Structure 1
């Protein structure tokens, strides 16, 4: 049976008070939650909080979906307006107004690319960039016996291209095998 508007308003008010009290750190078994808000038990209050959060999440998802749809429609309109200039060669005129050739409008092409990029971001179509940090010889980075300063140094250099030249600054960042022996640079030659 559907809930009346008055009852729905009471539930919303009680849930708002419950959320406020929980944000203040009040435990579920506190009398302010059980007695004042008239919950049958702390478990009932906990379930109602979960219902409230779930309902808000669903409302937020619906609003985000409506926003995404509206933005997609706007992007469609803009894309439709600029598409012909980006895909069909346009006449090039000299100073006297004579046609000297035909070319694509590169500004329109750039605009189309930006619109497509915006749509991909809006709809989550771009895959995240994968980044991998590896140790000497492409092996694993050992972190079990590395100092905080060494970790920060590794983090600051992550993403920089490898060089064939030895790095004197990182001599103390040698790979250590499972037995705990350091890798000797002279044995690798």
Structure 2
């Protein structure tokens, strides 16, 4: 049998106090949690906190699901409205009013593609893009700090990223002179 409204309100009030105390880093075995809130033990308080957090997560998931469903229904309506223009060939009339041929409305096709893209994002259908960053020659990438001279050496090893050949080393630095390599403050 479901709990009465009064009992549900009492549980919600107790859980709110429990969450507030835990946010203040009050341990579960503190008398303010066990005695004042009416838990039989620290373990019971811990279990109730987990129930409260799971209940909140379930509520949030349900709300997100309802929102997602509403957005999908809106996208369905928009897609249904523009689909015929994007898929059915129609007569094309030129600026002078003469028949040019038949074709689909390109703007409608673009709109359909944007709607499909939005639906894929909303429902998490797109696969994440795999990106791999590598160093010169496909080897490992150094992630430690380097000074300007080391950076210029790395550029010389990899080649000019802009494809400009025949430039001297000073041009590659953007007019900056390499700093003393003895200076450890730059590392």
What TM-score bracket applies, with the shorter chain setting the length? 0.7 to 0.9
**For structure 1, which runs of at least 5 residues remain unmatched after alignment?**
155-162, 170-189
CA RMSD of the aligned region, Å?
A: 2.5
Q: Which residue does 1:23 correspond to in 2?
A: 23
Please report the TM-score for the alignment, with normalisation by the length of structure 2.
Answer: 0.73
Query: 2:86 touches 2:104 (CA, 8 Å); kept in 1?
Result: yes
Q: Which residue does 2:62 correspond to in 1?
A: 62
Q: Which runs of 4+ in 1 moved over 4 A?
A: 166-169
The alpha-carbon distance between structure 1 residues 166 and 77, as it changes in their structure 2 partners (threshold 3 A), is closer
- Deviation per CA, 1:28-87, whole angstroms, max 9, x where unpaired? 122221121111111111110000001111111111111111111111111011001011
Q: What is the distance in 1 between the residues matched to 2:159 and 2:142?
A: 21
The alpha-carbon distance between structure 1 residues 98 and 133, as it changes in their structure 2 partners (threshold 3 A), is closer
Q: Which residue does 2:89 correspond to in 1?
A: 89
Please report the TM-score for the alignment, with normalisation by the length of structure 1.
Answer: 0.73
* Mapping for residues 33-72 of structure 1, pairs under 5 Å: 33-72=33-72
Q: Which residue does 1:113 correspond to in 2?
A: 113
* More displaced 10-residue stretch of structure 1: 92-101 or 10-19: 92-101
How many residues align structurally?
156
Give the C-alpha shift of residue 18 in structure 1: 0.8
The alpha-carbon distance between structure 1 residues 72 and 82, as it changes in their structure 2 partners (threshold 3 A), is same
Q: What is the distance in 2 between the residues matched to 1:112 and 1:166?
A: 42
- Deviation per CA, 1:105-129, whole angstroms, max 9, x where unpaired? 1110110000000000000001111
Query: 2:137 touches 2:158 (CA, 8 Å); kept in 1?
Result: no
